[in-house]
């Protein structure tokens, strides 16, 4: 029988709030894309803090294709993770997750988005630059597995109407102008 993934189409993408029941699919991707994967217990503890965290899942049909998370500190939103299953990469799923995350941050009153990224992770740098992130600092030896530096990136002024325009432009430029369907927290998935 054909695997579910092969029958799924990225046009069926939905961005939904991450739930405990999604963690099996999240951890499967986590273990593939990260050399220091988060444990299920760590994700569970994050999901127990909805007032200061927001985690999203990208689903294609019944498959988990990616996920991303935010931590809110004062008026800053920190991207804690963003990952797409390698089988689904380069299909703008990371882009659609980040659009949803940026809108969540704006909705919660954040004025800036920030993250750390490995210096060598050019694909991620390119993605973040499209969202207005710029390198603002460096953390020496931040990643203990390779002693690699982290670049600290910031997108400032996300509460400005021009940032909403940027997000709309990113969404409109997606192939076939497909906008990710986003369910609101509280809806089931
Ligand atoms: C970074 C990551 C989330 C991107 O997800 P994705 O769904 O493949 O990204 P998208 O298809 O939305 O790509 C958006 C843009 O990012 C850049 N990009 C993404 N992957 C790229 C790659 N492999 N090579 C070069 N550029 C890349 C491109 O500019 C791309 O736009 P384009 O396809 O129109 O050229 C994904 O590669 C991933 O999960 N990597 C492993 C985990 C990781 O590094 N996460 C980031 C931690 S800070």
The model's pLDDT over 122-170, given as tens digits with 9 standing for 90+, comes to 999 999 999 999 999 999 999 999 999 999 999 999 999 999 999 999 9
* Catalytic residue status for 128: yes
Q: Is residue 140 part of a domain?
A: yes
Q: Is residue 94 part of a domain?
A: yes
Amino acid 177: pLDDT? 47
* Catalytic residue status for 116: yes
Q: Is residue 186 part of a domain?
A: no
Q: Is residue 165 part of a domain?
A: yes
Q: Is residue 87 part of a domain?
A: yes
Q: Is residue 189 part of a domain?
A: no
The DSSP code for 133 is -
Catalytic residue of the set 43, 55, 67, 128: 128
Which structural domain range is residue 135 located in?
4-180
Give the number of the atom of ligand 1 that is nearest the alpha carbon of residue 117: 48
- DSSP SS3 for 31: helix
- Report the pLDDT averaged over residues 103-132: 98
CA of 127 from ligand 1 middle (Å) equals 6
With a 6 Å cutoff on the Cβ, whether 101 touches ligand 1 is no
Higher pLDDT, 85 or 182: 85
CA distance 111 to 131: 14
Side-by-side strand order, sheet with 63-73: 134-143, 148-156, 112-118, 76-84, 63-73, 53-60, 13-17, 181-182
Q: How confident is residue 119, by pLDDT bands cut at 50, 70 and 90?
A: very high
Q: Is residue 187 part of a domain?
A: no
Higher pLDDT, 8 or 154: 154
CA of 43 from ligand 1 middle (Å) equals 22
* 121 has a pLDDT exceeding 80: yes
- Report the pLDDT averaged over residues 14-21: 98
CA of 124 from ligand 1 middle (Å) equals 5
Please report, rounded to a whole number, the percentage of residues in the chain having pLDDT higher than 90.
Answer: 85
Higher pLDDT, 6 or 19: 19
Task: Report, in angstroms and rounded to the nearest whole number, the Rg of the chain calculated over CA atoms.
Answer: 16
CA of 126 from ligand 1 middle (Å) equals 7
Q: Is residue 188 part of a domain?
A: no
Q: How confident is residue 178, by pLDDT bands cut at 50, 70 and 90?
A: low
CA of 98 from ligand 1 middle (Å) equals 11
With a 6 Å cutoff on the Cβ, whether 106 touches ligand 1 is no
**CATH code: domain of residue 96:** 3.40.630.30
Catalytic residue of the set 5, 76, 116, 119: 116
Amino acid 4: pLDDT? 52
- DSSP SS3 for 123: helix
Counted domains in the chain: 1
- Report the pLDDT averaged over residues 68-90: 98
With a 6 Å cutoff on the Cβ, whether 84 touches ligand 1 is yes
With a 6 Å cutoff on the Cβ, whether 137 touches ligand 1 is no
Owner of token pair 């369910």: 183
Amino acid 1: pLDDT? 43
CA distance 170 to 164: 10
Amino acid 2: pLDDT? 44
Task: Decide: pTM greater than 0.85.
Answer: yes
Supply 182's token pair.
């986003």
Owner of token pair 């500190």: 73
Using left for φ > 0, alpha for ψ between -120 and 50, and beta otherwise, residue 186 falls in left
Supply 75's token pair.
């008026």
Q: How confident is residue 7, by pLDDT bands cut at 50, 70 and 90?
A: low
Supply 119's token pair.
């210096």
Going by alpha carbons, the residue nearest to atom 9 of ligand 1 is 94
């Amino acid at each position: 029988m054909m695997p579910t993934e092969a029958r799924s189409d990225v046009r069926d993408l939905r961005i939904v709030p991450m739930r405990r029941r999604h963690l099996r699919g999240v951890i499967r991707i986590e273990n593939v894309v990260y050399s220091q994967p988060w444990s299920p217990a760590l994700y569970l503890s994050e999901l127990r803090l909805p007032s200061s965290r927001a985690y999203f899942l990208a689903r294609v049909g019944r498959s988990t294709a990616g996920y991303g998370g935010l931590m809110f500190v004062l008026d800053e939103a920190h991207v804690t993770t963003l990952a797409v299953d390698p089988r689904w990469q380069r299909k703008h799923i990371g882009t659609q997750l980040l659009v949803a995350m940026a809108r969540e941050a704006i909705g919660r009153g954040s004025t800036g988005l920030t993250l750390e990224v490995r210096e060598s992770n050019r694909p991620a740098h390119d993605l973040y630059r499209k969202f207005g992130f710029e390198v603002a600092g460096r953390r020496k030896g931040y990643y203990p597995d390779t002693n690699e530096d982290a670049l600290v990136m910031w997108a400032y002024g996300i509460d400005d109407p021009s940032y909403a325009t940027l997000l709309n432009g990113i969404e409109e430029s997606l192939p076939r102008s497909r906008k990710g369907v986003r369910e609101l927290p509280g809806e089931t998935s």
